């Protein structure tokens, strides 16, 4: 109801109602007055003319002389016209017609003119003085007002009907005009509401021949299309900016990690060089002394202890060098990753206790990757060992190879090797440092802290990237992503053998 | 600086020259090579080696690759140019020794040794090595020379 009272149609109806409230009564009373006056004038003129004629008959004839004749005249006056009362009153004559309705009392004075409906008079009385041959008398005539009153009432109801019809018609017209005016606006509003709620494909516009409304529709449509353009552009720009930003962040993290690893690598490389040099005299002198030492002796035992420690040191340095990219990688050749995974799996299954379930998830049709088979095998073993050590109390180790369709920075088709465990997982801080050499979460003595650093070094030497996903308690997944092996590298690798290695 | 000490009962002992900036390294190598019957000359740098070669007869040069001043690859090139009859064995401990020493072609131990081979070395061995490994390389290179003659 409240909604309806605010509409254009109801406003128009309200205004028309107010206007008619003033206009129609005024019209009605004006018209009624005119009609009443006209009918009254007509009645009076008729009555007077008739009375005059009766009076003339008295004056011209000799009816005044005889009561009978006067009565006859009065009777005929009543019979002829609308008269209901007729009386002649003189000094020596007093006659009244008995033909009219009984019991009519004549007033002492005649009515004055037109106010026929006033005071509830039902009968209009007239008095005319008549004179004949020196005799004078008063002629009283009474006329019935009812027919005229009936005419007036009839006119009133006609006027009322006409005004009522006019009122109803104009009100209906007003409401119709209101609806006609507001229909395109309502339509426009419904469409703009849908646009506002997000349906930007909808076009606006008003199907109206009214220029104002049509122009409003055009303006709204212009605004809508501009808004759609702007919001599309904004959305696109925001999406593009977000993509760039997330890519930048990922690159930044990668760069920071790589930078730190490179710093550590450079340092490790320098230390490794020094160690290698220091180990030369240790190993050579010890071996030399061993040649001189008597076969079973404490001295010999001790020297062998030194030598084995030196050999261990040499192995550690070799691993550090692997991490710091000073890797004896030799030449990279296209390798069938799944074959090496299967080989490593065979070995690994024999090593782990039965509470570790080992699952293989290798896709078919994996392209070859550029690698060194021996190092790749070591990389896989290191990742598997790490996974196993993360779930000493049992769990599932999944090793898989698939082609990852990756977007952002990397080529579309990267061969991905992954090793997933259901172990204790790690937090973000640990994840940041997991590939650093000598970083270990295990208790002292149970590992060198080099396994993942070496894995990292090997992956980098293949031009592959290595990354880790993990959460505390949620296990860890290590992924090694190989760029697809270009066929040209293959022939190049075959064309350049390395004879120096054979010299060793 | 020089220690010519071939055992008297081996008059034709091959004469070796060891070039390494680390005194401990060259002394230890000299010790085991002399014990194996070689006559050994020790120098600390490539410049010293080139100077000594002008006066001393040397059959085999063993040189470190990473040294201050002229590096191993440079020395090998000079030796192969000026003293083509001398055989060369390269040794290297690898590693990025210092930042300015970083060269794309010399990132890995094998790359150092590959650089040596490219410069003309006849054999190579990476540090640290054991006596047998060292002797095997030295003997095989000398045998190669003898076979070539």
Q: What is the CATH number of the domain that holds A339?
A: 3.30.565.10
Distance (Å) from the C-alpha of residue B79 to the closest C-alpha of chain A?
19
A230-239, A373-382, A439-448, A456-465: the lowest-pLDDT one: A439-448
What residue in B sits closest to A269 (Cα-Cα)? B95
- Enumerate the domain spans of chain B: 15-148
- Which one has a higher pLDDT value, A503 or B111? B111
* pLDDT (0 to 100) of residue A273: 80
Q: Compute φ and ψ for A304, nearest 5 degrees.
A: -65, -35
Number of H helices, E strands in chain A: 12, 11
Does the distance separating the beta carbons of B28 and A285 come in below 8 Å? yes
- State whether the Cα torsion B105-B108-B111-B116 is positive or negative: positive
Average pLDDT over residues A153-177: 91
* pLDDT (0 to 100) of residue A30: 93
Does the distance separating the beta carbons of B31 and A288 come in below 8 Å? yes
Torsion on CA atoms A54, A56, A62, A67, rounded to nearest 10: 30
Query: Closest to B114 (Cβ–Cβ): which among A270, A274, A498?
Result: A498
* pLDDT (0 to 100) of residue A165: 94
Domains identified in chain A, total number: 2
- Which one has a higher pLDDT value, A224 or A487? A224
SS3 content of chain B, % helix, strand, coil (to 5): 45, 15, 40
- Which one has a higher pLDDT value, A309 or A102? A309
* pLDDT (0 to 100) of residue B43: 95
SS3 content of chain A, % helix, strand, coil (to 5): 60, 15, 25
What distance lies between CA A357 and its chain's CA centroid? 50
Distance (Å, rounded) from C-alpha B149 to C-alpha B144?
9
Parent domain of A139? 2-169
**Model confidence at A441: pLDDT above 70:** no
Which CATH number is correct for B15-148, 3.20.20.70, 3.40.50.2300, 3.30.43.10, 1.10.10.10? Answer: 3.40.50.2300
Does the distance separating the beta carbons of B96 and A276 come in below 8 Å? no
* pLDDT (0 to 100) of residue A183: 85
* pLDDT (0 to 100) of residue B88: 94
A209-213, A345-349, A353-357, B109-113: the lowest-pLDDT one: B109-113
**Model confidence at A394: pLDDT above 70:** yes
* pLDDT (0 to 100) of residue A268: 73
* pLDDT (0 to 100) of residue B109: 58
* pLDDT (0 to 100) of residue A437: 66
Please compute, for residue A337, the number of CA atoms within 13 A of its CA located in the half-sphere on the CB side: 32
- Which one has a higher pLDDT value, B128 or A350? B128
Query: Closest to A288 (Cβ–Cβ): which among B32, B109, B117?
Result: B32
Last residue of a domain, one of A101, A134, A169: A169
Mean pLDDT, chain A, whole residue set: 80
Give A326's contacts in chain B (Cβ within 8 Å). 94-96, 107-109
Q: Which of B130, B63, B74, B136 is nearest to A502 (CA)?
A: B136
**Model confidence at A132: pLDDT above 60:** yes
Q: Which of A407, A436, A440 is nearest to A426 (CA)?
A: A440
Does the distance separating the beta carbons of A266 and B93 come in below 8 Å? no
Is A6 a domain residue? yes
pLDDT in tens, A27-70: 999 999 999 899 988 988 888 888 888 888 888 887 777 888 88
- State whether the Cα torsion A470-A476-A478-A479 is positive or negative: negative
* pLDDT (0 to 100) of residue A304: 93
Give B142's contacts in chain A (Cβ within 8 Å). none
Last residue of a domain, one of A154, A169, A184: A169
A4 — pLDDT class (breaks 50, 70, 90): low
The per-residue DSSP string of A175-219 comes to: HHHHHHHHHHHHHHHHHHHHHHTT-TT-------S-HHHHHHHHH
Distance (Å, rounded) from C-alpha B18 to C-alpha B26?
6
Give A462's contacts in chain B (Cβ within 8 Å). none
**Model confidence at B94: pLDDT above 80:** no
Q: Which of B68, B69, B63, B71 is nearest to B141 (CA)?
A: B63
B89 — pLDDT class (breaks 50, 70, 90): very high
Distance (Å, rounded) from C-alpha A115 to C-alpha B135?
159
pLDDT in tens, A223-261: 888 888 888 889 899 999 999 998 888 888 877 777 776
Flag whether residue A277 sits within 8 Å of chain B, measured between CB atoms.
yes
The residues, any chain, with a CB within 8 Å of residue A431's CB and separated by 6 or more, are A468, A470
* pLDDT (0 to 100) of residue B37: 93
A149 — pLDDT class (breaks 50, 70, 90): confident
Copy the structure tokens of residue A76: 């005929």
A174-188, A254-268, A329-343, B35-49: the lowest-pLDDT one: A254-268
Q: Which of B73, B105, B79 is nearest to B92 (CA)?
A: B73
Query: Closest to B128 (Cβ–Cβ): which among A266, A276, A330?
Result: A276
Distance (Å, rounded) from C-alpha A138 to C-alpha A55?
9
Flag whether residue A289 sits within 8 Å of chain B, measured between CB atoms.
no
* pLDDT (0 to 100) of residue A68: 85
Flag whether residue A322 sits within 8 Å of chain B, measured between CB atoms.
no
CATH of the domain at A7: 3.30.450
* pLDDT (0 to 100) of residue A110: 67
**Model confidence at A502: pLDDT above 50:** no
**Model confidence at B7: pLDDT above 90:** no
**Model confidence at A357: pLDDT above 80:** yes
Q: Residue B128: is the preceding peptide bond cis (ω within 30°)?
A: yes
Give B108's contacts in chain A (Cβ within 8 Å). 321, 325-329
pLDDT in tens, A83-117: 788 888 887 788 888 777 777 777 777 665 444 44
Does the distance separating the beta carbons of B124 and A280 come in below 8 Å? no
Last residue of a domain, one of A136, A169, A202: A169
Distance (Å) from the C-alpha of residue B132 to the closest C-alpha of chain A?
10
A78 — pLDDT class (breaks 50, 70, 90): confident
B105 — pLDDT class (breaks 50, 70, 90): very low
Is A235 a domain residue? no
User: A179-182 — which CB contacts under 8 Å span 24+ positions?
Assistant: A179/A8, A179/A9, A181/A8, A181/A210, A181/A213, A182/A7, A182/A8, A182/A9
B93 — pLDDT class (breaks 50, 70, 90): confident
A2-11, A302-311, A330-339, B58-67: the lowest-pLDDT one: A2-11
Average pLDDT over residues B17-30: 93
Number of H helices, E strands in chain B: 5, 5
Query: Closest to A328 (Cβ–Cβ): which among B108, B125, B131?
Result: B108
Cβ atoms of A397 and A357 within 8 Å: the answer is yes
Q: Which residue has the tokens 């020596």?
A: A92
- Which one has a higher pLDDT value, A435 or A489? A435
Q: Compute φ and ψ for B66, nearest 5 degrees.
A: -100, 110
Does the distance separating the beta carbons of A498 and B28 come in below 8 Å? no
* pLDDT (0 to 100) of residue A119: 43
Angle of CA points A367, A369, A371, to nearest 5°: 160
């Amino acid at each position: 109801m409240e909604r309806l009272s605010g509409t254009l149609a109801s406003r128009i109806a309200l205004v028309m109602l107010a206007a008619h409230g003033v206009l129609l009564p005024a019209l009605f009373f004006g018209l009624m007055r005119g009609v009443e006056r006209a009918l009254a004038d007509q009645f009076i003129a008729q009555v007077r003319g008739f009375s005059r004629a009766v009076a003339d008959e008295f004056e011209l004839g000799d009816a005044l002389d005889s009561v009978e004749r006067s009565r006859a005249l009065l009777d005929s006056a009543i019979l002829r016209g609308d008269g209901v009362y007729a009386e002649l009153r003189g000094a020596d004559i007093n006659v009244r017609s008995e033909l009219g309705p009984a019991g009519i009392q004549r007033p002492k004075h005649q009515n004055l003119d037109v106010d026929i409906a006033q005071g509830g008079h039902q009968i209009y009385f007239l008095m005319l003085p008549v004179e004949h041959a020196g005799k004078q008398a008063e002629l009283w005539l009474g006329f019935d007002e009812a027919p005229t009153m009936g005419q007036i009432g009839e006119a009133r109801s006609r006027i009322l009907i006409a005004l009522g019809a006019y009122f109803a018609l104009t009100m209906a017209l007003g409401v119709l005009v209101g609806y006609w005016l507001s229909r395109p606006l309502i339509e426009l509003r419904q469409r703009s509401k849908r646009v506002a709620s997000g349906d930007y494909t909808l076009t606006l516009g008003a199907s109206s021949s009214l220029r104002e409304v049509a122009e409003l529709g055009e303006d709204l449509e212009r605004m809508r299309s501009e808004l759609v353009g702007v919001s599309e552009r904004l959305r696109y720009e925001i999406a593009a900016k977000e993509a760039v930003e997330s890519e930048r962040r990922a690159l930044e993290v990668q760069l920071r990690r790589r930078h730190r690893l490179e710093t550590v690598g450079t340092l490790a490389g320098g230390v490794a060089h020094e160690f290698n040099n220091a180990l030369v005299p240790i190993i050579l002198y010890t071996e030399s002394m061993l040649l001189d030492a008597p076969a079973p002796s404490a001295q010999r035992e001790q020297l062998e202890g030194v030598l084995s420690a030196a050999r261990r040191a040499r192995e550690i340095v070799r691993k550090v060098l692997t991490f710091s990219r000073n890797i004896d990688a030799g030449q990279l050749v296209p390798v069938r990753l799944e074959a090496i995974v299967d080989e490593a799996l065979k070995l690994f299954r024999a090593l782990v206790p039965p509470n570790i379930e080992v699952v293989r998830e290798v896709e078919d049709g994996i392209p070859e990757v550029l690698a060194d088979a021996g190092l790749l095998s070591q990389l896989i073993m290191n990742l598997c060992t790490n996974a196993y050590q993360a779930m000493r109390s049992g769990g599932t180790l999944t090793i898989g190879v698939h082609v990852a369709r990756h977007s952002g920075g990397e080529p579309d088709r990267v061969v991905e090797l992954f090793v997933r465990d259901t172990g204790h997982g790690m937090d973000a801080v640990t994840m940041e440092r997991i590939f650093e050499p000598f970083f270990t979460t295990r208790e002292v003595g149970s590992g060198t802290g080099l396994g993942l650093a070496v894995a990292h070094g090997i992956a980098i030497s293949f031009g592959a990237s290595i990354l880790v996903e993990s959460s505390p308690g949620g296990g860890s997944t290590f992924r090694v992503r190989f760029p697809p092996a270009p066929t040209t590298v293959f022939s190049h690798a075959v064309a350049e053998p390395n004879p120096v290695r054979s010299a060793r | 600086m020089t220690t010519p000490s071939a055992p008297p009962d081996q008059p034709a002992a091959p004469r070796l020259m060891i070039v390494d900036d680390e005194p401990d390294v060259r002394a230890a190598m000299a010790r085991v090579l002399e014990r194996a019957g070689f006559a050994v000359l020790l120098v600390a740098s490539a410049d010293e080696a080139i100077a000594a070669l002008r006066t001393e007869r040397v059959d085999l040069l063993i040189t470190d690759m990473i040294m201050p001043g002229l590096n191993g690859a440079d020395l090998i090139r000079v030796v192969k140019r000026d003293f083509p009859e001398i055989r060369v064995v390269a040794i290297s401990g690898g590693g990025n020794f210092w930042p300015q020493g970083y060269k794309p072609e010399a990132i890995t131990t094998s790359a150092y040794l590959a650089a040596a081979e490219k410069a003309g070395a006849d054999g190579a061995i990476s540090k640290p090595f054991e006596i047998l490994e060292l002797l095997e390389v030295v003997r095989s290179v000398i045998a190669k020379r003898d076979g070539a003659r």
